[in-house]
Amino acid sequence: MDSALNQIKLMIKAKIGLDSNTIGHNTIDKIILQRMHLCDIFEFKDYLQLIKHSQKELNELLEISVIPETWFFRDIKPYEFIHQHIQQALLNNQSTHFKILSIPCSTGEEPYSLAMYLLEKGINPTAFSIDAVDVSQRAIQLAEKADYGENSFRGKHYHLYKEKYFSYANDRHIINSNIRDRIKFYPLNILHKPKSTQHLFDFILCRNLLIYFDADTKLIVYKNLSTLLKDSGYLFVGHSEFGSVPGGIFYNSGFKNAFALIKSSLKLPEKSTNTHNIKLKKNPSKKTNFNNLIRKKTIHIENKNNQLLDKAMQLANTLKFNEAEKTCRLHIKNQGEDADALYFLGLILDSQKKYQEAETYYRKSIYLNPKHYDALINLSLILEKNGDLKNSDLLKKRAEKSFLN
């Protein structure tokens, strides 16, 4: 690789965290070449000198490097969680006002969606406020303008809100002022340690940002998000990011499909259940209860011939992995292969650092059920660990599609 080109990529990473390995070198090369063409520059070394000495051009490069892929009501599970939490707290007189942060807010679809959702569900506008921040000044300007084209309306949840909270003019959909007034937009770079806003937010939505960062940058971001979050607060990440959360900072809250995290300092409440809970975490220590690990997957046992699988799950929950593995293998031998049992065996092997065997069983699970979300995510993490970033990314995209569908 041209050394000047590599230095340009490192500058982008240092400024906004974007790792070229996550989006592909060809993609970021095209971004750089686009700016070079507009500046009438043909050599990487010349463009490198330009951005070193021109803050304006560096800002232009960073602006087009930001990936503004978003739309209204992209995933409402976190909205449902936030609404229920606020409603219950208000009923119990536990709090009267909740602060919410959307980061990155991009062009505003997420914070506006949440405001519309909460108001539609009957939450008093005085009970919450939403801050929306982004590293891109251009994205914030578009968000504050609050008018959108058809590309911002996808999926199946926006129809009611589009009719009720928007006006239409000149082929654009304009958000009503009562929604616009609920959001406070301002620039913020999450790579920089927060100073004056520590422990302010009850809820933080930071979804589909961390997939663009390498492991070291993710750790910085999680630490900064922890600083911004109240000790009793919840952090929401994207489902493709959920499997690689640093356990020393955040843990799974246990609420299905919301992908809500709590601070590691907040003790998880014990919950009784009649289903079998499988948690995902790499290499749990002997002192860690398998029931309190990072990611929850519920498997419903639909017949009475699964006593061995029940036993295997109980053994895994007490960290008796060798016995759990033998019992799970016996279940598969007696009952035949099914996607969930194969996934669970892969998970047990994964927890024992038997990554090659775990990969085999995750793949078998996916073969039987190509949309098995947890098998896809855990296989992607193994491939990422082995340096196969391309196929790891493909599996994460498949997992995202399986979750949304």
Residues 242 and 305 occupy one common structural domain: no
Whichever domain contains 398, its CATH number is: 1.25.40.10
* Structure token digits, residue 10: 């490192």
95 assigned to some structural domain: yes
280 assigned to some structural domain: yes
Domain boundary among 228, 263, 298: 263
Please state the domain count of the chain.
3
pLDDT of 394 over the 70 cut? yes
pLDDT of 122 over the 80 cut? yes
Residues 227 and 95 occupy one common structural domain: yes
C-alpha span between 266 and 191 (Å, rounded): 24
What are the tens digits of pLDDT across the range 93-102? 777 899 999 9
Task: Calculate the CA dihedral of residues 57, 63, 64, 68 and round it to 10 degrees.
Answer: 180
Residues 296 and 389 occupy one common structural domain: yes
Residue 23's SS3 state is: helix
Of 72, 69, 77, 78, nearest in space to 146 by CA = 72
- Which own/partner pairs from 144-150 qualify as long-range (CB within 8 Å, at least 24 positions apart)? 144/108, 144/180, 144/185, 146/108, 146/112, 146/174, 146/175, 146/179, 146/180, 147/172, 147/173, 147/174, 147/175, 148/72, 148/107, 148/109, 148/172, 148/173, 148/174, 148/175, 149/173
Residues 107 and 12 occupy one common structural domain: no
Domain boundary among 263, 289, 305: 263
Residues 286 and 391 occupy one common structural domain: yes
**DSSP for 190-225, written as a single string:** TTSPPSS-TT-EEEEE--SSGGGS-HHHHHHHHHHH
Please give the angle made by the CA atoms of 328, 304 and 274, to the nearest 5 degrees.
80
Domain boundary among 236, 263, 290: 263
- Which of the listed ranges 64-68, 138-142, 252-256 does the model predict with the highest average pLDDT? 138-142
Residues 165 and 301 occupy one common structural domain: no
The predicted pLDDT at position 215 comes to 83
Residues 310 and 348 occupy one common structural domain: yes
* Whole-structure pTM value: 0.65
Residues 301 and 387 occupy one common structural domain: yes
pLDDT of 8 over the 90 cut? yes
319 assigned to some structural domain: yes
71 assigned to some structural domain: no
C-alpha span between 254 and 140 (Å, rounded): 33
What are the tens digits of pLDDT across the range 165-184? 999 999 999 999 999 999 99
Residues 84 and 139 occupy one common structural domain: yes
Residues 54 and 146 occupy one common structural domain: no
271 assigned to some structural domain: no
Whichever domain contains 231, its CATH number is: 3.40.50.150
C-alpha span between 130 and 107 (Å, rounded): 15
Q: What residue numbers bound the domain in which 392 lies?
A: 276-404
Of 94, 59, 61, 377, nearest in space to 243 by CA = 377
The predicted pLDDT at position 26 comes to 81
270 assigned to some structural domain: no
Residues 52 and 83 occupy one common structural domain: no
**Least-confidence region, from 233-247, 336-350, 378-392:** 233-247
The predicted pLDDT at position 228 comes to 94
C-alpha span between 125 and 104 (Å, rounded): 23
pLDDT band at 401 (very low <50, low <70, confident <90, very high): confident
Residues 193 and 254 occupy one common structural domain: yes
pLDDT of 259 over the 90 cut? no
C-alpha span between 72 and 313 (Å, rounded): 39
70 assigned to some structural domain: no
269 assigned to some structural domain: no
